[in-house]
Amino acid sequence: MPQAIVTADGRSFRFVDYTLPELGPQDVRVRVEFAAPKHGTEKHAITGSPFDRKRWDPKLRMFLPKEEPQEPARSERAVGNMVVGTVVETGIEVRRWKTGDRVFGYGPIREVHQAHEEQWYAVGKLSAPDCVCVDPAHVAFVAVRDGNTRVGDYVAVYGLGAIGLMAVQIARVSGARRVYAVDPITIRREAALKFGADAALDPAACDAALEIKRATDGAGVDIAIETSGSAAALHDAIRCIQKCGTVVHVPWGPHDCTALHLDEEFHLNRPTIVGSQAWAGWECPDRSYPLWTHERAFDATIELFRAGLVTGRGVVHPIVPFAEAPSALEAMFLAPETTIKVGVRFGD
């Protein structure tokens, strides 16, 4: 019986057995070779989201008080975001794939996946780290576009997890003249420099926004992309931009906004703050719609990998065997300084 990994609290992870449903006529069954979680989003989902505290009204597009607010019961949930593997069985109506094809797609960390044929993408010449970085790269791709990044612009990226490191690369591909990367974790700053950042700053050791201002002759950057979910990082992103510059806010957070002071640089420098969201499920069109759709942005992201313009190698770290995945996932939540984006390999 195949195994998957689950957690209830993000502190303890364990293996569980599971059964696959009967193969549907358009389903594809895939034996997984490589997988990865999505750190920030999974932590948000596990530790508490606004959906736990409030009720989302899709018609009003507002969070409203729940009729009977209560602490939600924590149940075990699957962990993982993207998988890479080989097709081992296909439904009788499947025409897109055949046994032996290598594919990637969305799904939790487990040994065998089954999904509709249209939910899989061809691996081709992509590496496994490339494949599992398509999702964070898609988020970064939309964020860079939402900031209207142009040739010659100065860009700052706050938060150097997978999304931030992909944003560094995509900003360069978009023609940014300078890219400044900010994160307190050493291995992430080192990765940003390898991916083309002009400087990688530790906000725990310096005033990062001030250093960025000094490096740009006092002007600041044109666009700051904040991916960490930290109120302090969002505040610093506001501080580091030029007058009337743009701050692109990507993550769910911050929940605690104590470190965000809108009576300071925000009030005097009149920045534009843009909320960026790549997922079509929230029913917000791409900002360039109808010229651009979510599907076009996703496909364009994959093409960046296929063209060798961006890479997931060096973003996925550490890579561990499936047997050691629970402890690596614990470190992802409890010791983030040791990880960037955990990769899990199968078949060891």
- Claim to verify: residue 147 and residue 238 sit in the same structural domain: yes
Q: What is the CATH number of the domain that holds 257?
A: 3.40.50.720
Listed in sequence order, the residues at least 6 apart from 257 whose beta carbon sits closer than 8 Å to its beta carbon are: 231
- Claim to verify: residue 194 and residue 230 sit in the same structural domain: yes
- Claim to verify: residue 281 and residue 327 sit in the same structural domain: no
On whether residue 90 sits in a domain, the answer given is yes
On whether residue 306 sits in a domain, the answer given is no
Q: Which residue range(s) make up the domain with 149?
A: 135-294
Whether 137 contacts 301, CB under 8 Å: yes
At residue 110, what are phi and psi to the nearest 5 degrees? Answer: -155, 165
Q: What is the CATH number of the domain that holds 17?
A: 3.90.180.10
Return d(Cα 186, Cα 184) in angstroms, integer: 6
Q: Mind listing the pLDDT tens digit of every residue in the chain (348 residues)?
A: 999 999 988 788 999 999 999 999 999 999 999 999 988 777 766 666 788 888 999 999 999 998 875 655 668 889 999 999 999 999 999 999 999 999 999 999 999 999 999 999 999 999 999 999 999 999 999 999 999 999 999 999 999 999 999 999 999 999 999 999 999 999 999 999 999 999 999 999 999 999 999 999 999 999 999 999 999 999 999 999 999 999 999 998 788 899 999 999 999 999 999 999 888 778 889 999 999 999 999 999 999 999 999 999 999 999 999 999 999 999 888 898 999 999 999 987
- Claim to verify: residue 76 and residue 184 sit in the same structural domain: no
- Claim to verify: residue 101 and residue 154 sit in the same structural domain: no
On whether residue 180 sits in a domain, the answer given is yes
Number of domains in the chain: 2
Peptide bond into 72 cis (omega under 30): no
- Claim to verify: residue 65 and residue 212 sit in the same structural domain: no
pTM metric for this prediction: 0.94
- Claim to verify: residue 218 and residue 113 sit in the same structural domain: no
